[in-house]
Amino acid sequence: MQSYTIPEPVRQRVLRRQGRLFSHDTIDPKRAALVVVDMQNYFVATGHPGEVPAARGIVGNVNRMASAMRSAGGAVIWVQTTATGALEHWANHHRHMLTPERAAKRLAALADGSASCQLYPELEARPGDIYVKKIKYSALVRDSSDLEEVLRRRRAESVIIAGTTTNVCCESTARDAMLLDFRVIVLSDATAASSVEEHAASLTNIQLYFGDVMTVDEALERLSS
């Protein structure tokens, strides 16, 4: 697990802006959703193309937060990247930012039904949870997924983000959630990146501009209250 502590200069800047470190004093589970991003074999399992080894270290915390959300009556949403529709809606990424070999490998590995596309088996996903497929880094940008509609139907106000990678799909989704007027929490010990430096830089940026960065324990304290 990649540890993170909010740097003191960042704490002071946030306190000056909003008068408190966290904008959430409490989390209403009926108006909140845990959104778990990309915890699928492609990014988590050993030897798969996008493997982020640190992601295996957060599985326990993801499961713990998901269990607490269900018990409190909140929604648990598992978001998985798919290659279906990628070339129709995100072609330039594959044509210009990946080699032809990397693009072909990514599209094949993330095809619906492939082993890499499946959720990592140690995750405690439940039949009553919600499952969303996304095409792009952000689950909330146009033509990526129906996550926004899912959240609006549930009258969600707060979006709690876990998963991988912190600085790509988690941060992209967090930014768009905030800009769509959801309140955002990113779980520092239930997210993971390819390096400690990327993880920390992303969380610092989120705390400064886009939402609350909390540990699972800090979120659970507010959920239970």
- Predicted pLDDT at 225: 55
Q: What averages of pLDDT result for each successive group of 10 residues across the chain (225 residues)?
A: 94 97 97 98 97 98 98 97 94 94 94 96 98 98 98 98 98 98 98 98 98 98 83
Residue whose token pair is 């990397």: 102
Joined tokens for residue 169: 């799909």
- DSSP state for residue 38 in the 8-state scheme: -
Sign of CA dihedral 5, 6, 8, 9: positive
- Predicted pLDDT at 21: 97
139 dihedral zone (left: phi>0; alpha: psi -120 to 50; beta): alpha
Domain boundaries in the chain? 10-224
- Predicted pLDDT at 1: 81
Report the run of H or E that residue 185 belongs to, with start and end: strand 183-192
- The CATH T-level fold of domain 10-224 is Rossmann fold (3.40.50)
Q: Could you tell me if 184 and 174 are in contact, meaning their C-beta atoms sit under 8 angstroms apart?
A: yes
- DSSP state for residue 142 in the 8-state scheme: T
- Predicted pLDDT at 153: 97
Rounded CA separation 225/211 (Å): 20
Using only C-alpha atoms, what is the Rg of the chain?
Answer: 17
